[in-house]
Amino acid sequence: MKVVVGDVVLPGDQCEFIATIAEKSRVLLGPGLRKEVDGVFITKAGLLRRRAPNTFWVDGYQKRYIPARGENVIGLVTQKMGDIFRVDIGSSCHATLSYLSFESATKKNRPKVEIGDVVYAKMLVASKDMEPELVCVDSNGKKNRLGVLEDGFVFKCSLNLIRKILSPQCMLIESIKNEWPFELAAGMNGKIWIKAKTMRETVAVGNAILASEYLTNEEIKSICCRMY
């Protein structure tokens, strides 16, 4: 079936208009779209979205994480194997994290990571056929915002919610950032880590995030006012 932007699309649908645009200019095909020999096809169910100038993707409800290069994720260290850690990131297989990919880590100076630790890491290798690989440093060898997350509270949510709260249009973080001190790490794999001064505050931030999944910006503002 032929589709246009904003439509509900199903796997197998063909996007002829993207092919015509691609004849003149560059097109970025995001998740859910695939270039085949005889056209561009949908591979996921959801809404077809477009962002200027020519970025297309399919926005669908999803809870299973599919590793993608460059994304920041929250993982749980499940095993130590010689020079790598195995990290559970909620995808179909575990990811690996080398002990050398931490800031100022050397063969002699090992980072302090134990089984059961929660790490915030960047996806370095994510391919269909191989195990994903994580790193806790940026390209300059600095830890930047990555590393082991100490204390705090982790919970799961859908991947859409993560994208919603991290989008620049969403008012949730704007509304709750002035209430009390707290720290937040949102992994693109549908895990959120929160750390606040008291348990009450932690739970309140967590509930606010979970409640905002199906709310508009105005509704989010009103629940944030009632929060305390």
Partner 1 sequence: MASRKPQLPKSVLDMKFMKKTKERIQKELENTEDHDSLYSNIITNEMRSAAGGNYISESSFIYCEDLMDGRLSFKGMNPEIERLMELENEPLIKEEDMKKDVSDEVLAKKMEAFNQRKRPYSSPSTVAIKKKKH
Q: How many residues bind partner 1 (CB under 8 A)?
A: 50
Minimum Å distance from CB 87 to partner 1? 16
- Does 200 help bind partner 1 (rule: CB under 8 A)? no
CA–CA distance, 58 with 13 (Å, rounded to integer)? 12
- Does 175 help bind partner 1 (rule: CB under 8 A)? no
146-180 in b/e burial notation, b at 16+ Cβ within 10 A?
A: bbbbeebeeeebebbbbebbeeeeebbbebbeebe
103-121 in b/e burial notation, b at 16+ Cβ within 10 A?
A: eebeeeeebebeeebbbbb
- Does 204 help bind partner 1 (rule: CB under 8 A)? no
Q: Which is nearer to partner 1, 56 or 84 (CB)?
A: 56
- Does 163 help bind partner 1 (rule: CB under 8 A)? yes
CA–CA distance, 170 with 63 (Å, rounded to integer)? 20
CA–CA distance, 122 with 36 (Å, rounded to integer)? 30
- Does 66 help bind partner 1 (rule: CB under 8 A)? yes
User: For residue 139, which amino acid is it?
Assistant: S
User: On the CB side of 86, how many CA atoms lie within 13 Å of its CA?
Assistant: 9
Minimum Å distance from CB 136 to partner 1? 12
Minimum Å distance from CB 185 to partner 1? 5
Minimum Å distance from CB 82 to partner 1? 29
DSSP-based three-state secondary structure for 164: helix
Minimum Å distance from CB 21 to partner 1? 8
Q: Which is nearer to partner 1, 80 or 177 (CB)?
A: 177
Return residues touching partner 1 (CB under 8 A). Answer: 22-31, 34-37, 40, 49, 51, 55, 57, 66, 68-72, 120, 126, 144-146, 162-163, 166-168, 173, 177-178, 180-188, 195-197
